[in-house]
Amino acid sequence: MVDDPTLLTEVQMESWVGDFDSWDLCDQCCGNLFDKTKFAFDKAKTWSLRKEEFVRRAGFALMAELAVHDKTSPDPAFEEFLEVIEQRGGDDDRNFVKKAVNWALRQIGKRNSTLNAKAIYIASVMLEKKDSPAAKWIASDALRELKSDAVQKKLKAPKS
């Protein structure tokens, strides 16, 4: 992109995230720059609390991007994201936010069979206990993919 992740500061990240005004800019920045910084995990959690639509999306998009790109972080880091998703993920019916929540839940659940089981559990809880159309959509869509034969087969395949 346009910056070196090792030189990016928190102040710069905050400035940039505050200027997001489209989902594609948000997602590209999160997946090509922000997820490679030492601040990524903290920013994902912090931004998921914010009210601004694209800042909040950035929090959940960053969770999704880290789930895909970060091959070294242990499961507990992603389990923290699942807790955030369970607590805050279904309370925002804005389209760009709920799609990012769903994306994060699905990507975390596809990392390995342990996280898959935990993501399925979180989605099931959201579906059963949250009284929000956004939560119901997020959970049912995630469950469809996470329980699919294709995902289950991939998770059971030996690692090469």
pLDDT at 41 over 80: yes
Does any domain span residue 159?
Answer: no
Is 53 within the bounds of a domain?
Answer: yes
**Residue 158 confidence (pLDDT) above 90:** no
Residues of the domain holding 59: 10-154
CA distance 62 to 104: 8
Q: What is the pLDDT of residues 53-71, one digit of tens each?
A: 999 999 999 999 999 999 9
In a domain, 106, yes or no: yes
Q: Which residue has the tokens 């507990």?
A: 76
Q: What is the model's pTM?
A: 0.96
Check residue 65 and give its pLDDT.
98
**In a 10 Å sphere around its CB, with 0-12 CB exposed, 13-18 middle and 19+ buried, how is residue 80 labelled?**
middle
* DSSP string of 125-150, one letter each residue: HHHHH---HHHHHHHHHHHHHHTSHH
Average pLDDT, the chain: 95
Q: How far apart are CA 34 and CA 36, in angstroms?
A: 5
| CA distances for 62 relative to 12, 59, 110, angstroms | 16, 5, 16
Question: What SS3 class is residue 156?
Answer: helix
- Closest by CA to 47, choosing from 5, 4, 98, 13, is 13
Q: Is residue 2 part of a domain?
A: no
The count of structural domains within the chain is 1
Residues 6+ away with beta carbon under 8 Å from 149: none
Structural domain includes residue 1:
no
Q: For residue 127, give the CATH number of its domain.
A: 1.25.10
Residue 63 one-letter amino acid: M
Would you say residue 4 lies in a domain? Answer: no
pLDDT tens, position by position, 97-126: 999 999 999 999 999 999 999 999 999 999
Instruction: Answer yes or no: is 41 within a domain.
Output: yes
CA distance 121 to 143: 9
Instruction: Name the token pair of 148.
Output: 């699919």
